Structure 1
Amino acid sequence: MKKQSETHEAISWAKQRLDDLDTMIAQVEKSADKLKDDARAKADAALARLQASRDKVNASYDQLLAETDAMKDDARKTLETEWIEVESAFQAFLTAAKDQAETVRTVIQARADAQRKYWEKSIADLRAQAESNVEKARGELDDALKRLSDETEKFQSRIGEVKDAGDESWKAVKAGLADAKAAHDRTIEKIRNAFSKET
Protein backbone atom coordinates (compact mmCIF):
# COMPACT_ATOMS: atom_id res chain seq x y z
CA MET A 1 0.00 0.00 0.00
CA LYS A 2 2.82 2.40 0.91
CA LYS A 3 4.72 1.65 -2.34
CA GLN A 4 1.54 2.23 -4.35
CA SER A 5 1.05 5.57 -2.60
CA GLU A 6 4.67 6.57 -3.29
CA THR A 7 4.24 5.62 -6.96
CA HIS A 8 1.07 7.68 -7.17
CA GLU A 9 2.86 10.63 -5.56
CA ALA A 10 5.76 10.33 -8.03
CA ILE A 11 3.39 10.33 -10.99
CA SER A 12 1.43 13.25 -9.56
CA TRP A 13 4.65 15.16 -8.90
CA ALA A 14 5.86 14.52 -12.46
CA LYS A 15 2.51 15.59 -13.94
CA GLN A 16 2.63 18.82 -11.94
CA ARG A 17 6.15 19.50 -13.24
CA LEU A 18 5.02 18.84 -16.79
CA ASP A 19 2.05 21.19 -16.42
CA ASP A 20 4.32 23.81 -14.84
CA LEU A 21 6.75 23.51 -17.73
CA ASP A 22 3.95 23.81 -20.31
CA THR A 23 2.82 27.01 -18.60
CA MET A 24 6.36 28.40 -18.60
CA ILE A 25 6.87 27.62 -22.30
CA ALA A 26 3.54 29.14 -23.30
CA GLN A 27 4.24 32.37 -21.42
CA VAL A 28 7.87 32.57 -22.56
CA GLU A 29 6.77 32.13 -26.19
CA LYS A 30 4.25 34.96 -25.84
CA SER A 31 6.65 37.21 -23.98
CA ALA A 32 9.73 36.63 -26.14
CA ASP A 33 8.07 38.51 -29.00
CA LYS A 34 8.27 41.71 -26.95
CA LEU A 35 12.05 41.51 -26.57
CA LYS A 36 14.59 43.02 -28.98
CA ASP A 37 18.12 42.31 -30.18
CA ASP A 38 20.42 40.57 -27.68
CA ALA A 39 17.62 40.09 -25.14
CA ARG A 40 15.53 38.36 -27.82
CA ALA A 41 18.41 36.07 -28.78
CA LYS A 42 18.96 35.09 -25.12
CA ALA A 43 15.23 34.59 -24.63
CA ASP A 44 15.04 32.36 -27.73
CA ALA A 45 17.98 30.31 -26.44
CA ALA A 46 16.26 29.93 -23.06
CA LEU A 47 13.03 28.93 -24.83
CA ALA A 48 14.88 26.29 -26.86
CA ARG A 49 16.32 24.89 -23.60
CA LEU A 50 12.86 24.81 -22.04
CA GLN A 51 11.42 23.01 -25.07
CA ALA A 52 14.25 20.45 -25.07
CA SER A 53 13.70 19.90 -21.35
CA ARG A 54 9.99 19.49 -21.94
CA ASP A 55 10.70 16.58 -24.28
CA LYS A 56 12.89 14.94 -21.62
CA VAL A 57 10.42 15.61 -18.80
CA ASN A 58 7.60 14.22 -20.92
CA ALA A 59 9.67 11.08 -21.63
CA SER A 60 10.32 10.63 -17.90
CA TYR A 61 6.62 11.13 -17.16
CA ASP A 62 5.70 8.53 -19.77
CA GLN A 63 8.26 6.17 -18.23
CA LEU A 64 6.73 6.70 -14.79
CA LEU A 65 3.35 5.72 -16.16
CA ALA A 66 4.63 2.65 -17.98
CA GLU A 67 7.38 1.12 -15.87
CA THR A 68 7.65 -1.09 -12.80
CA ASP A 69 8.18 0.39 -9.35
CA ALA A 70 11.98 -0.02 -9.53
CA MET A 71 12.05 1.75 -12.88
CA LYS A 72 9.79 4.49 -11.52
CA ASP A 73 12.50 5.44 -9.02
CA ASP A 74 14.99 5.82 -11.87
CA ALA A 75 12.54 7.84 -13.94
CA ARG A 76 11.85 10.17 -11.04
CA LYS A 77 15.58 10.72 -10.46
CA THR A 78 16.03 11.49 -14.16
CA LEU A 79 13.12 13.90 -14.02
CA GLU A 80 14.51 15.63 -10.92
CA THR A 81 17.87 16.05 -12.65
CA GLU A 82 16.21 17.50 -15.75
CA TRP A 83 14.18 19.84 -13.58
CA ILE A 84 17.41 21.58 -12.62
CA GLU A 85 17.87 22.38 -16.32
CA VAL A 86 14.29 23.64 -16.53
CA GLU A 87 14.82 26.04 -13.64
CA SER A 88 18.15 27.17 -15.09
CA ALA A 89 16.60 27.84 -18.50
CA PHE A 90 13.70 29.69 -16.88
CA GLN A 91 16.10 31.88 -14.91
CA ALA A 92 18.04 32.53 -18.14
CA PHE A 93 14.83 33.80 -19.75
CA LEU A 94 14.05 36.01 -16.76
CA THR A 95 17.57 37.43 -16.93
CA ALA A 96 17.20 38.10 -20.66
CA ALA A 97 13.87 39.86 -20.04
CA LYS A 98 15.03 41.79 -16.95
CA ASP A 99 14.47 45.16 -18.65
CA GLN A 100 10.86 44.22 -19.38
CA ALA A 101 9.32 44.26 -15.92
CA GLU A 102 5.80 43.62 -17.22
CA THR A 103 7.00 40.60 -19.20
CA VAL A 104 8.80 39.14 -16.19
CA ARG A 105 5.77 39.76 -13.99
CA THR A 106 3.40 38.12 -16.50
CA VAL A 107 5.56 35.00 -16.84
CA ILE A 108 6.04 34.61 -13.10
CA GLN A 109 2.34 35.26 -12.43
CA ALA A 110 1.31 32.60 -14.97
CA ARG A 111 3.62 30.09 -13.33
CA ALA A 112 2.34 30.97 -9.85
CA ASP A 113 -1.26 30.60 -11.04
CA ALA A 114 -0.52 27.17 -12.52
CA GLN A 115 1.11 26.05 -9.28
CA ARG A 116 -1.79 27.38 -7.19
CA LYS A 117 -4.28 25.45 -9.35
CA TYR A 118 -2.23 22.28 -8.94
CA TRP A 119 -2.07 22.73 -5.17
CA GLU A 120 -5.80 23.36 -4.95
CA LYS A 121 -6.47 20.21 -7.00
CA SER A 122 -4.06 18.22 -4.81
CA ILE A 123 -5.81 19.40 -1.66
CA ALA A 124 -9.22 18.52 -3.12
CA ASP A 125 -7.94 15.07 -4.15
CA LEU A 126 -6.46 14.45 -0.70
CA ARG A 127 -9.67 15.58 0.97
CA ALA A 128 -11.73 13.22 -1.21
CA GLN A 129 -9.31 10.36 -0.55
CA ALA A 130 -9.42 11.00 3.20
CA GLU A 131 -13.23 11.00 3.17
CA SER A 132 -13.28 7.75 1.20
CA ASN A 133 -10.77 6.14 3.56
CA VAL A 134 -12.72 7.25 6.61
CA GLU A 135 -15.92 5.76 5.18
CA LYS A 136 -14.10 2.51 4.39
CA ALA A 137 -12.57 2.38 7.89
CA ARG A 138 -15.97 3.12 9.42
CA GLY A 139 -17.47 0.19 7.48
CA GLU A 140 -14.64 -2.11 8.57
CA LEU A 141 -15.09 -0.97 12.16
CA ASP A 142 -18.84 -1.64 12.03
CA ASP A 143 -18.23 -5.12 10.57
CA ALA A 144 -15.59 -5.89 13.20
CA LEU A 145 -17.82 -4.70 16.04
CA LYS A 146 -20.70 -6.81 14.72
CA ARG A 147 -18.46 -9.92 14.65
CA LEU A 148 -17.32 -9.15 18.18
CA SER A 149 -20.92 -8.73 19.33
CA ASP A 150 -21.90 -12.03 17.68
CA GLU A 151 -19.04 -13.87 19.44
CA THR A 152 -20.02 -12.29 22.76
CA GLU A 153 -23.64 -13.45 22.30
CA LYS A 154 -22.48 -16.99 21.51
CA PHE A 155 -20.37 -17.03 24.63
CA GLN A 156 -23.22 -15.65 26.78
CA SER A 157 -25.56 -18.35 25.52
CA ARG A 158 -23.01 -21.07 26.36
CA ILE A 159 -22.66 -19.72 29.88
CA GLY A 160 -26.44 -19.82 30.27
CA GLU A 161 -26.58 -23.42 29.07
CA VAL A 162 -23.97 -24.72 31.50
CA LYS A 163 -24.73 -22.98 34.80
CA ASP A 164 -25.12 -26.25 36.61
CA ALA A 165 -22.82 -28.33 34.46
CA GLY A 166 -19.78 -30.36 35.44
CA ASP A 167 -16.12 -30.15 34.51
CA GLU A 168 -16.55 -31.13 30.82
CA SER A 169 -19.05 -28.36 30.25
CA TRP A 170 -16.81 -25.81 31.95
CA LYS A 171 -13.96 -26.91 29.69
CA ALA A 172 -16.24 -26.22 26.74
CA VAL A 173 -17.08 -22.81 28.21
CA LYS A 174 -13.38 -22.05 28.69
CA ALA A 175 -12.71 -23.07 25.08
CA GLY A 176 -15.57 -20.84 23.97
CA LEU A 177 -14.12 -18.01 26.02
CA ALA A 178 -10.72 -18.55 24.40
CA ASP A 179 -12.37 -18.52 20.95
CA ALA A 180 -14.27 -15.34 21.79
CA LYS A 181 -11.07 -13.71 23.11
CA ALA A 182 -9.20 -14.69 19.93
CA ALA A 183 -12.01 -13.25 17.80
CA HIS A 184 -11.94 -10.09 19.93
CA ASP A 185 -8.15 -9.77 19.52
CA ARG A 186 -8.38 -10.27 15.74
CA THR A 187 -11.16 -7.70 15.55
CA ILE A 188 -9.23 -5.11 17.57
CA GLU A 189 -6.15 -5.74 15.41
CA LYS A 190 -8.20 -5.20 12.23
CA ILE A 191 -9.59 -1.96 13.66
CA ARG A 192 -6.08 -0.76 14.54
CA ASN A 193 -4.82 -1.67 11.09
CA ALA A 194 -7.71 0.18 9.45
CA PHE A 195 -6.92 3.30 11.43
CA SER A 196 -3.15 3.02 10.88
CA LYS A 197 -3.78 3.01 7.12
CA GLU A 198 -5.43 6.40 7.50
CA THR A 199 -2.45 8.02 9.24
Structure 2
Amino acid sequence: MATQSSLHIYLNWAKERIDEMDATLAAFEAKVGGVQGEYRGKANDIIADLHKKRDEFQETVKKQAETNEAAWLRTKAQLESEWSNFEAQVKSYIETAGKHIDQQQSAFQEVATAQLKAWHEAADKVQAAATQFAADRRADIDAAAQRMKTDAATAEAQFQKLRQAGTESWTAFSAALTESRGAFDRANQAAWDAVKRADGPKS
Protein backbone atom coordinates (compact mmCIF):
# COMPACT_ATOMS: atom_id res chain seq x y z
CA MET A 1 0.00 0.00 0.00
CA ALA A 2 2.84 2.46 0.81
CA THR A 3 4.33 2.04 -2.66
CA GLN A 4 0.89 2.41 -4.18
CA SER A 5 0.28 5.62 -2.23
CA SER A 6 3.61 7.04 -3.44
CA LEU A 7 2.58 6.36 -7.01
CA HIS A 8 -0.81 8.01 -6.40
CA ILE A 9 0.98 11.26 -5.55
CA TYR A 10 2.67 11.31 -8.96
CA LEU A 11 -0.26 9.96 -10.93
CA ASN A 12 -2.62 12.59 -9.44
CA TRP A 13 -0.03 15.28 -10.16
CA ALA A 14 0.33 14.17 -13.78
CA LYS A 15 -3.39 13.65 -14.36
CA GLU A 16 -4.16 17.15 -13.09
CA ARG A 17 -1.69 18.60 -15.64
CA ILE A 18 -3.04 16.48 -18.50
CA ASP A 19 -6.60 17.51 -17.66
CA GLU A 20 -5.51 21.16 -17.72
CA MET A 21 -3.78 20.66 -21.06
CA ASP A 22 -6.91 19.09 -22.53
CA ALA A 23 -9.10 21.89 -21.15
CA THR A 24 -6.78 24.57 -22.54
CA LEU A 25 -6.76 22.97 -25.97
CA ALA A 26 -10.55 22.63 -25.98
CA ALA A 27 -10.96 26.31 -25.06
CA PHE A 28 -8.50 27.53 -27.70
CA GLU A 29 -9.94 25.30 -30.43
CA ALA A 30 -13.46 26.48 -29.67
CA LYS A 31 -12.41 30.14 -30.13
CA VAL A 32 -9.78 29.95 -32.89
CA GLY A 33 -12.46 30.54 -35.54
CA GLY A 34 -12.88 34.06 -34.20
CA VAL A 35 -9.18 34.92 -34.58
CA GLN A 36 -8.73 37.48 -37.33
CA GLY A 37 -6.41 37.62 -40.34
CA GLU A 38 -2.72 36.94 -39.98
CA TYR A 39 -3.14 35.81 -36.39
CA ARG A 40 -5.29 32.83 -37.40
CA GLY A 41 -2.33 30.94 -38.92
CA LYS A 42 -0.15 31.69 -35.90
CA ALA A 43 -2.94 30.58 -33.58
CA ASN A 44 -3.34 27.29 -35.44
CA ASP A 45 0.43 26.72 -35.34
CA ILE A 46 0.53 27.29 -31.59
CA ILE A 47 -2.46 24.98 -31.05
CA ALA A 48 -0.71 22.27 -33.10
CA ASP A 49 2.42 22.73 -30.97
CA LEU A 50 0.33 22.57 -27.78
CA HIS A 51 -1.19 19.27 -28.99
CA LYS A 52 2.30 17.91 -29.60
CA LYS A 53 3.50 18.97 -26.15
CA ARG A 54 0.41 17.46 -24.50
CA ASP A 55 0.89 14.17 -26.40
CA GLU A 56 4.57 13.97 -25.38
CA PHE A 57 3.69 14.67 -21.76
CA GLN A 58 0.94 12.04 -21.80
CA GLU A 59 3.24 9.47 -23.43
CA THR A 60 5.90 10.01 -20.76
CA VAL A 61 3.27 9.58 -18.03
CA LYS A 62 1.98 6.34 -19.63
CA LYS A 63 5.50 4.90 -19.69
CA GLN A 64 5.91 5.68 -15.97
CA ALA A 65 2.46 4.55 -14.83
CA GLU A 66 3.59 1.14 -13.61
CA THR A 67 7.08 2.02 -12.39
CA ASN A 68 8.35 2.72 -8.90
CA GLU A 69 8.81 5.92 -6.92
CA ALA A 70 12.49 6.32 -7.81
CA ALA A 71 11.66 6.19 -11.53
CA TRP A 72 8.90 8.76 -11.00
CA LEU A 73 11.27 11.10 -9.17
CA ARG A 74 13.68 10.98 -12.11
CA THR A 75 10.91 11.54 -14.62
CA LYS A 76 9.07 14.26 -12.70
CA ALA A 77 11.80 16.82 -13.44
CA GLN A 78 11.39 16.10 -17.16
CA LEU A 79 7.60 16.37 -16.86
CA GLU A 80 7.88 19.66 -14.96
CA SER A 81 10.03 21.02 -17.77
CA GLU A 82 7.48 19.84 -20.38
CA TRP A 83 4.70 21.45 -18.32
CA SER A 84 6.61 24.76 -18.21
CA ASN A 85 7.04 24.62 -22.00
CA PHE A 86 3.31 24.03 -22.41
CA GLU A 87 2.51 26.99 -20.16
CA ALA A 88 4.92 29.20 -22.12
CA GLN A 89 3.10 28.28 -25.34
CA VAL A 90 -0.25 29.07 -23.71
CA LYS A 91 1.08 32.52 -22.84
CA SER A 92 2.30 32.90 -26.42
CA TYR A 93 -1.18 32.00 -27.72
CA ILE A 94 -2.83 34.54 -25.42
CA GLU A 95 -0.38 37.24 -26.52
CA THR A 96 -0.79 36.38 -30.21
CA ALA A 97 -4.39 35.37 -30.71
CA GLY A 98 -6.22 35.34 -27.41
CA LYS A 99 -6.10 39.01 -26.51
CA HIS A 100 -9.88 39.30 -26.38
CA ILE A 101 -11.12 39.02 -22.82
CA ASP A 102 -13.83 36.50 -23.81
CA GLN A 103 -11.15 34.11 -25.11
CA GLN A 104 -9.18 34.49 -21.90
CA GLN A 105 -12.27 34.00 -19.77
CA SER A 106 -13.26 30.92 -21.78
CA ALA A 107 -9.81 29.36 -21.35
CA PHE A 108 -9.79 30.23 -17.65
CA GLN A 109 -13.25 28.70 -17.17
CA GLU A 110 -12.24 25.43 -18.87
CA VAL A 111 -8.97 25.10 -16.98
CA ALA A 112 -10.52 26.06 -13.63
CA THR A 113 -13.21 23.41 -14.16
CA ALA A 114 -10.51 20.81 -14.94
CA GLN A 115 -8.58 21.77 -11.78
CA LEU A 116 -11.63 21.49 -9.56
CA LYS A 117 -12.48 18.11 -11.07
CA ALA A 118 -8.93 16.93 -10.27
CA TRP A 119 -9.30 18.16 -6.66
CA HIS A 120 -12.52 16.18 -6.17
CA GLU A 121 -11.25 13.02 -7.88
CA ALA A 122 -8.08 13.04 -5.76
CA ALA A 123 -10.09 13.53 -2.55
CA ASP A 124 -12.36 10.63 -3.54
CA LYS A 125 -9.32 8.37 -4.12
CA VAL A 126 -7.92 9.27 -0.72
CA GLN A 127 -11.25 8.52 0.95
CA ALA A 128 -11.45 5.20 -0.90
CA ALA A 129 -7.95 4.35 0.37
CA ALA A 130 -9.06 5.20 3.92
CA THR A 131 -11.73 2.49 3.84
CA GLN A 132 -8.98 -0.14 3.62
CA PHE A 133 -7.80 0.67 7.13
CA ALA A 134 -9.22 0.00 10.56
CA ALA A 135 -10.95 2.99 12.19
CA ASP A 136 -8.01 3.74 14.50
CA ARG A 137 -5.73 4.25 11.48
CA ARG A 138 -8.20 6.21 9.36
CA ALA A 139 -8.49 9.53 11.21
CA ASP A 140 -5.50 11.26 9.54
CA ILE A 141 -6.55 10.08 6.09
CA ASP A 142 -10.13 11.24 6.57
CA ALA A 143 -8.84 14.60 7.83
CA ALA A 144 -6.53 14.95 4.81
CA ALA A 145 -9.38 14.15 2.41
CA GLN A 146 -11.57 16.70 4.17
CA ARG A 147 -8.79 19.32 3.91
CA MET A 148 -8.59 18.60 0.17
CA LYS A 149 -12.31 19.24 -0.17
CA THR A 150 -12.06 22.44 1.87
CA ASP A 151 -9.11 23.64 -0.22
CA ALA A 152 -11.07 22.81 -3.40
CA ALA A 153 -13.96 24.93 -2.13
CA THR A 154 -11.54 27.79 -1.43
CA ALA A 155 -10.10 27.52 -4.95
CA GLU A 156 -13.59 27.42 -6.42
CA ALA A 157 -14.58 30.58 -4.52
CA GLN A 158 -11.46 32.35 -5.79
CA PHE A 159 -12.19 31.29 -9.36
CA GLN A 160 -15.78 32.47 -9.00
CA LYS A 161 -14.62 35.86 -7.76
CA LEU A 162 -12.38 36.26 -10.81
CA ARG A 163 -15.16 35.18 -13.17
CA GLN A 164 -17.57 37.69 -11.67
CA ALA A 165 -15.03 40.51 -11.99
CA GLY A 166 -15.23 39.89 -15.73
CA THR A 167 -12.31 42.09 -16.73
CA GLU A 168 -9.32 40.34 -15.22
CA SER A 169 -6.20 39.89 -17.32
CA TRP A 170 -4.69 36.53 -18.27
CA THR A 171 -1.94 37.33 -15.77
CA ALA A 172 -4.53 37.35 -12.95
CA PHE A 173 -6.23 34.21 -14.28
CA SER A 174 -2.89 32.42 -14.64
CA ALA A 175 -1.79 33.45 -11.13
CA ALA A 176 -5.02 32.07 -9.62
CA LEU A 177 -4.60 28.78 -11.51
CA THR A 178 -0.96 28.50 -10.44
CA GLU A 179 -1.87 29.16 -6.81
CA SER A 180 -4.61 26.53 -6.92
CA ARG A 181 -2.32 24.04 -8.64
CA GLY A 182 0.30 24.50 -5.92
CA ALA A 183 -2.32 24.03 -3.21
CA PHE A 184 -3.51 20.87 -4.99
CA ASP A 185 0.03 19.48 -5.09
CA ARG A 186 0.56 20.15 -1.37
CA ALA A 187 -2.82 18.66 -0.42
CA ASN A 188 -2.23 15.63 -2.64
CA GLN A 189 1.19 15.04 -1.03
CA ALA A 190 -0.20 15.45 2.51
CA ALA A 191 -3.11 13.10 1.85
CA TRP A 192 -0.98 10.29 0.47
CA ASP A 193 1.60 10.80 3.21
CA ALA A 194 -1.29 10.18 5.65
CA VAL A 195 -2.07 6.95 3.80
CA LYS A 196 1.58 5.90 4.05
CA ARG A 197 1.64 6.61 7.80
CA ALA A 198 -1.52 4.59 8.30
CA ASP A 199 0.07 1.72 6.40
CA GLY A 200 3.20 1.79 8.57
CA PRO A 201 3.77 -0.12 11.78
CA LYS A 202 1.46 0.91 14.59
CA SER A 203 3.25 2.87 17.32
Question: TM-score category by the smaller chain?
Answer: 0.5 to 0.7
CA distance in structure 2 between the aligned counterparts of 1:49 and 1:68, rounded to whole angstroms: 30
Q: Higher RCO, 1 or 2 (CA under 8 Å, sep at least 6)? A: 2
Normalising by the residue count of structure 2, what TM-score does the alignment of the two structures yield?
A: 0.61
Are 2:52 and 1:46 equivalent residues in the alignment? no
Per-residue CA deviations over 1:120-147 (Å, capped at 9, x if unaligned) read: 1212222332344344848xxxxxxxxx
Name the residue aligned to 1:28.
28
Residues 1:90 and 1:99: Cα distance change in structure 2 (over 3 Å): closer
> What is the correspondence of 1:84-163 to structure 2 with a 5 Å cutoff?
84-135=84-135, 137=137
CA distance in structure 1 between the aligned counterparts of 2:69 and 2:99, rounded to whole angstroms: 46
> What is the correspondence of 1:67-82 to structure 2 with a 5 Å cutoff?
67-82=67-82
**Equivalent pairs, count:** 143
Report the alpha carbon displacement of residue 44 of structure 1 after superposing the two structures with TM.
Answer: 1.7
Report the alpha carbon displacement of residue 116 of structure 1 after superposing the two structures with TM.
Answer: 0.7
Query: Which entry has the higher C-alpha Rg, 1 or 2?
Result: 1
Normalising by the residue count of structure 1, what TM-score does the alignment of the two structures yield?
A: 0.63
> What is the correspondence of 1:173-192 to structure 2 with a 5 Å cutoff?
none
CA distance in structure 2 between the aligned counterparts of 1:108 and 1:9, rounded to whole angstroms: 25
- The runs of 5 or more residues in structure 1 that have no matched partner are 139-194
Report the alpha carbon displacement of residue 43 of structure 1 after superposing the two structures with TM.
Answer: 1.7
Preserved contact between residue 43 and residue 96 of structure 1 (Cα < 8 Å):
yes
SS in 2 for 1:99: coil
Report the alpha carbon displacement of residue 102 of structure 1 after superposing the two structures with TM.
Answer: 1.1
Report the alpha carbon displacement of residue 98 of structure 1 after superposing the two structures with TM.
Answer: 4.1
RMSD, aligned CA: 2.5
- The runs of 5 or more residues in structure 2 that have no matched partner are 139-194
